[in-house]
Structure 1
Amino acid sequence: MTADTGATGDETAALLTRLTGLLLRSSGEGAVTIGRTVRDTARALDADASVLLVPDGAALTVRTGGDSRTVILHGVPEVFRLDQVVALKPLVQDVRAGRTGVSEANRRLAAIETSRPPYPWWLKLLGIVLFTLGFAPLMQSTWYEVGATAVLGTVAAVLAVAADRVPRFAPVLPLVVSVTVSVITVEVFARDVSHGGPVLLMLPALFFFVPGDYLSAATAELAAGYITTGAIRLVYSAFLLVQLYVGVLLGLYLTGTSTRALFDIAAASDLPRWALFLSWIVFTVGTLLAFAIPFRLLLPLLVLVYVTVAVQSLATKAIGETGGTFVAAAVLAAAATRLALRPDQPPRLVLLLPGFFTLTVGSLGMRGLTTLAGGYVIEGFRDLLKLVTIVTAIAVGLVFGAVLAQPADTARSGGHLSSET
């Protein structure tokens, strides 16, 4: 079959504009695949397209026959509706294979854009709570940490769901959440130093808002040669991180607590090994519900999470934390890239996300900033230096794994990190 020969240039341009907009809005993990996806789709429709990207905008030029159209698009990048990313892949595949014409593709794309989230608000709330609970043992493997996170994570989840219903609240959501979590932690959970530092008690509840994904995506874009998008995303990541940090400090000021309380000492572990093992199941289920990933993908994503954790643990014992993180990121990227090449598998972004979160890069930035604010200069700078090192290791590992796993023809075409959308 061939492209829809009855389609007008305006219809083709409208389809490519919609496609670019949806890809841009769902590019919180990086924008490096957008240009190639749009160009390949245009080529299947007997058109030509070029895209000039920045993280929150795109200039799309579409040429059909002797006509040329340029559209300027704007979209805030995020990763909270991954069900749309999953639904987009078979549509793009059908268009490229000539199985779907422009009119039908426009109709299907409009349905994806206007679709309701796959889970009701209360399941998203539960997902954020499970997401934080699964992360809690990474901070401190204690029952007290899990119990505190259950309360603090619920508070953070309520605020996140409320922001969905009141969009004007969204720009200040990280600040409001961090202030609220900081106040409750200091007043309720951090009164006894034997339970560990207050920052370690706060972090799991804030993890949903910590921009570790943006930080690594920015570094990966820089490593792949996307200088403009990488640099701008890096600045935006730093802004989000500082917003959370300021919120924690405001919480201390509101309660009259000295910043010296922001010590970073973990309590003695009392969680059994089976609880640590099961926490990744809780974490993965929470990720699916929080980021609107179809539940049928639980098993492959859970396998990738456990593979990433196992590789990181084994490699860290052999070559240290930085080397272990690099190897884990490379294995995760290679596995996700190869799986995403299969038509029946979800896009690479969806396959990467849960495993990526297990590398916990964003928490290092928060720990470093808050420890510095507490006056613990050496420990704070140690955490920040570790952040830079680990971010780079993850980003280079993701690029390295993707390059290794790409088919030879894709690598020769200059695809860098690109894969099937």
Structure 2
Amino acid sequence: MRPDTEAAPDDVAAFLARLTGLLLRSSGEGAALIERTVRHTARALGADASVLLVPDGAALTVSTRGDSRTVTLRGFPEVFRLDRVVALKPLVQDVGAGRIGVAEADRRLAAIESSRPPYPWWLKLLGIVLFTLGFAPLMQSTWYEVGATAVLGTVAAAPAVTADRIPRLATVLPLVVSATVSVITVEVFARDASHGGPVLLMLPALFFFVPGDYLSAAAAELAAGYTTTGAIRLVYSAFLLVQLYVGVLLGLFLTGTSTRALFDIAAASDLPRWALFLSWIVFTVGTLLAFAVPFRLLGLLLVLVYLTVAVQSLATKAIGETGGTFAAAAVLAAVTARLTLRPHQPPRLVLLLPGFFTLTVGSLGMRGLTTLAGGYVIEGFRDLLKLVTIVTAIAVGLVFGAALAQPRVTSPSAEGG
């Protein structure tokens, strides 16, 4: 008999509760894998487990040798410490394979939870700036956009890093950042209409705070039948978007600028093709630093980013933007699902996230809301309708691609959350 099955029920329940909590806190991609991972791990420890999930909480019931207990957990879902997600996968695999007992598993889990971020604060700040710079050419492919984003991205990154040390700031961070970026954009960078609309100038700096991942995770959960988690996550995503939108309007009010200034006109492109190509390298390096992804994964994530961009570009030319987005999401999901099955590859969330960001979902919501506020009703509703269409295309594409690539029997421990 394996030592796991001899563990005390209290120890098994305590370990599974800690595991569920960490999975819940790192469920920015969605909560669909948590229940399967916890149940598989519990069986390896000689127990049965069931999980009732909402996006920020879980009720875990553990049954061991006739003894049953229920634990209620709370955890705010996020994706900012992906190093913990990477470290969790081999732990779950070792437990599932019976290589370690509850005591060792709990020790390793505690070490993961208490581990320091892999990069110091200044590298995270640099990562957020690079993340915004890589995204800038998608808004306007101009050198002016890149220069403005370098300044505005630094302004936005400073409070984001500060919030790691002052957690209460995180609750109003989108509002504070968007208001600050709005004021600086209007007063410094948007004085000449030839440089493009102010929203296009400020959006790259706000992209780190735009809940595109939550929007698509919500749609994917709804598509997969997780109605409660999907609906609640969708409401929370809308709340974050509204915070950013109100912050932009607050910046206009503070500067005495009319909302009619929120026009959505792009400047003439002057970036060479090589700069557009290299921007994805800048973007991916920034993603690693900003989201605490181990740097050894840079090469693999770059391949996935360029694969997603290539599929989206080619498919868009053939079948339109919605079809191209669906195809890119499906290919990305299929490739990452297959890679995740390999024991030494990182979990799906880590592989998926950089490529997913290239699909730029959340910016459409911000553009739609600010365009409406500027009085451009038709254009605003067009952006919001496009948001709904693209979010649905990405969500269905992710579900379709993952289902297509999965073998008939999949071990949840291969995912590791």
Say whether the fold is shared (TM-score over 0.5). Answer: yes
**1:210-249 Cα distance to aligned partner (Å, 9 max, x none):** 0000000000000000000000000000000000000000
Query: What's the counterpart of residue 264 of structure 1?
Result: 264
Deviations 1:179-233 (A, max 9, x none): 0000000000000000000000000000000000000000000000000000000
SS across alignment from 2:6: coil
Contact 2:88 2:416 in 1 (8 A): no
Q: Is the 8 A contact 2:322 2:393 kept in 1?
A: yes
Q: CA deviation at 1:66?
A: 1.1
Superposed CA deviations along residues 365-394 of structure 1, whole A, max 9, x for unmatched, are: 000000000001111011000000000000
**Counterpart for residue 155 of structure 1:** 155
Aligned residues: 416
Q: How does 1:388-399 map to 2 (within 5 A)?
A: 388-399=388-399
Residue equivalent to 2:176 = 176
Matched, 1:309 2:305: no
Partner of 2:338: 338
Mapping of 1:10-409 within 5 angstroms?
10-409=10-409
Paired residues of 2:133 and 2:283 also in contact (CA < 8 A): yes
Amino acid at match of 2:188: V
Give SS of 2:208's match.
Answer: coil
Distance 2:196 2:151 in 1: 17
Q: Which amino acid aligns with 1:278?
A: L
| Post-superposition CA distance 1:258-295 (Å, at most 9, x none) | 00000001000000000000000000000000000000
Instruction: Give the AA of the match of 1:70.
Output: T
The equivalent of 1:6 in structure 2 is 6
Please report how far the alpha carbon of residue 97 of structure 1 lies from its aligned counterpart in structure 2 after TM superposition: 0.2
- CA shift in 2, pair 1:273/1:179, >3 Å: same
TM-superposed deviation, 1:7: 1.3
CA distance in 1, matches of 2:285, 2:172: 27
Contact 2:284-2:298 within 8 A present in 1 as well = yes
SS in 2 for 1:4: helix
TM-score, normalised relative to structure 1: 0.98
Code of the residue aligned with 2:394 in structure 1: it is: I
Contact 2:89/2:415, CA 8 A, preserved across alignment: no
Q: Please give the root-mean-square deviation of Cα atoms over the aligned residues, in Å.
A: 1.1
1:58 aligns to what SS in structure 2?
A: strand
**Residues 2 and 99 of structure 1 are in contact (CA less than 8 Å); yes or no, is this contact kept in structure 2?**
no
Q: CA deviation at 1:28?
A: 1.1
Distance 2:368 2:108 in 1: 46
Are the aligned partners of 1:127 and 1:287 in contact in 2 as well (CA < 8 Å)?
A: yes
User: Is residue 3–residue 46 contact of structure 1 (8 Å, CA) maintained in 2?
Assistant: no
Q: What residue identity is the alignment partner of 2:182?
A: S
Give the letter for the 1:75 counterpart. Answer: G
d(CA) in 1 for partners of 2:408, 2:376 = 50
Shift of 1:113: 0.3
Kindly indicate whether the alpha-carbon contact (under 8 Å) linking 2:85 and 2:416 is maintained by their aligned counterparts in 1.
no
Other structure's SS at 1:103 match: helix
Counterparts of 1:381 and 1:387, CA distance in 2 = 10
Counterpart of 1:161, as a letter, is: V
Q: Give the structure-2-normalised TM-score.
A: 0.99
Alpha-carbon distance in 1 for matches of 2:168, 2:369:
28
2-structure distance, mates of 1:302, 1:358: 11
SS in 1 for 2:41: helix
Residue deviations 1:91-123, cap 9 Å, x none?
Answer: 000000000110000000000000000000000
Amino acid aligned to 2:55: P
Query: How much does 1:419 deviate?
Result: 4.0
- The one-letter code sitting in structure 1 at the alignment partner of 2:319 is I
- Indicate the SS of the match to 2:50: strand
AA matched with 2:26: S
Which sections of structure 2, spanning at least 5 residues, go unmatched? none
The residue type equivalent to 1:229 in the other structure is T
The answer as to whether partners of 2:262 and 2:374 remain within 8 angstroms in 1 is yes
Give 1:304's aligned amino acid. Answer: L
Structure 1 unmatched ranges of 5 or more: none
Structure 2 distance, partners of 1:369, 1:111, is 43
CA contact (8 A) 1:12 1:102 kept: yes
